[in-house]
Amino acid sequence: MPFAVVNQIRIHYEVSGQGAPVLMINGLSAPSVNWALQAKALAPHFQVITFDNRGVGETDLPSEPVYATAQMADDAAALLQHLAIPRAHVVGASMGGTIAMELALRHPRLVRSLTLACTWADGDARFLHAIEAWVALAYRVPIEERFRYVLYPWIFSPAFLAKKENVEQAFQRT
Instruction: Give me the CATH code for the 3-122 domain, please.
Output: 3.40.50.1820
* pLDDT tens-digit series, residues 60-119: 888 876 778 999 999 999 999 999 999 999 999 989 999 999 999 999 999 999 999 988
Confidence of residue 43 (pLDDT cuts 50, 70, 90): very high
Domain boundaries, the chain: 3-122, 125-174
Angle (CA) 38-169-153 rounded to 5° is 80
Tell me if 142 sits within 8 A of 171, measured CB to CB: no
Q: How buried is residue 48: exposed, middle or buried, by Cβ count under 10 Å (0-12/13-18/19+)?
A: buried
